[in-house]
Amino acid sequence: MPIFFIDYRKIMLAHAILWLLGVEHGDISEANLRFCTKTSWPKLCDWDLSHFTGEPRPAGFSNTGTLIFMANDLLTDKGMKGAVTRVYRHDAESLYWVLIWILARFRDGKLLQARPPEFEMWKQQSWELIVTRRTGAIQQLEDDIARRAEIFSGIDEPLQIHSWFLGRPFDMASEKIHRINADISFFKATQCFMPEKEAELQESLKHYNSLDFIEEVFKEGLFNGSQEREKVFALLRDKSSFDAAIKGCPAPRSCHNLN
């Protein structure tokens, strides 16, 4: 496997561990991801917008970040007003957008002179149009397999596919959250909303807004057979492994109970 993909998986693992430790980065972008070739350690840079889990958030905190890589759910009227709480899923979705952005615009570590307009247009849009442009480009390239292959030429086909479809869990989560919230609004409007039903729907929302979603991300094909998948699954299921990670990291103790 090319070293870039190995490095990127390490960055995604490091990012997940930080969230488990209660350290939320909040500004995932192309410029903020680094990898040290001497130590083989991934680096997340620029912590100006970071946040410790459980601390009060400033007003409008959820709408901070690099717009072209922000999660779709944050690029909404509610999100831009700070009414959508940023969770792990949003940061991880940004890692997906950065990944395909790099794959489309760089080869062998160098910026291409002729860059795909389907991606270049992201930079020229207001936040209101970014989701539309990004979604439109993704849908177009899912239908036009030949064009997608042209853009990602030089990249092993299985890696192309696994990288491209790393966005699946985020799309499915957004759709399900929208459906659940629509059900809640409908039942309340029709005054046939039982407390038990509300509790059931609210419980189903928790999975998508909690650190349990880490498992959904690392189930994807990009992590097939990887140590990163094994490590993150161990952290999620084995308290002793989680304690070892906390002990080896200078971040504050996590407020999340994984038992």
- Residue 13: the pLDDT is 95
Written in H, E and C, the secondary structure of the chain is CCHHHHHHHHHHHHHHHHHHCCEECCCCCHHHEEECCCCCCEEECCCCCCEECCCCCCCCHHHCCCHHHCCHHHCCHHHHCCCCCCCHHHHHHHHHHHHHHHHHHEECCEECCCCCHHHHHHHHCCHHHHHHHHHHHHHHHHHCHHHHHHHCCCCCHHHHHHHHHHHHHHHHHHHHHHHHHHHHHHHHHCCCCCHHHHHHHHHHHHHHHCCCHHHHHHCCHHHCCCHHHHHHHHHHHCHHHHHHHHHCCCCCCCCCCCC
- Residue 244: the pLDDT is 64
Distance, CA of 127 to CA of 226 (rounded, Å): 35
Task: Please state the rounded mean pLDDT for residues 39-55.
Answer: 82
Min mean pLDDT across 22-36, 58-72, 104-118 is at 58-72
- Residue 251: the pLDDT is 47
Distance, CA of 84 to CA of 3 (rounded, Å): 36
- Residue 8: the pLDDT is 95
Percent of the chain clearing pLDDT 90 (strictly above): 44
Residue 63 — pLDDT band, cuts 50, 70, 90? Answer: low
Residue 64 or 73, more confident: 73
pLDDT value at 114 more than 50: yes
Residue 59, number of CB atoms within 10 A of its CB: 8
Q: For all residues of the chain together, what is the average pLDDT?
A: 85
Domains of the chain (ranges, CATH numbers): 3-247 (1.10.510)
Residue 85 — pLDDT band, cuts 50, 70, 90? Answer: confident
CB 71 within 8 A of CB 89: yes
pLDDT value at 20 more than 50: yes
pLDDT value at 38 more than 50: yes
Q: What is the pTM of this model?
A: 0.86
Distance, CA of 148 to CA of 164 (rounded, Å): 10
Taking only the tens place, the pLDDT of each residue in 237-248 is: 875 665 565 566
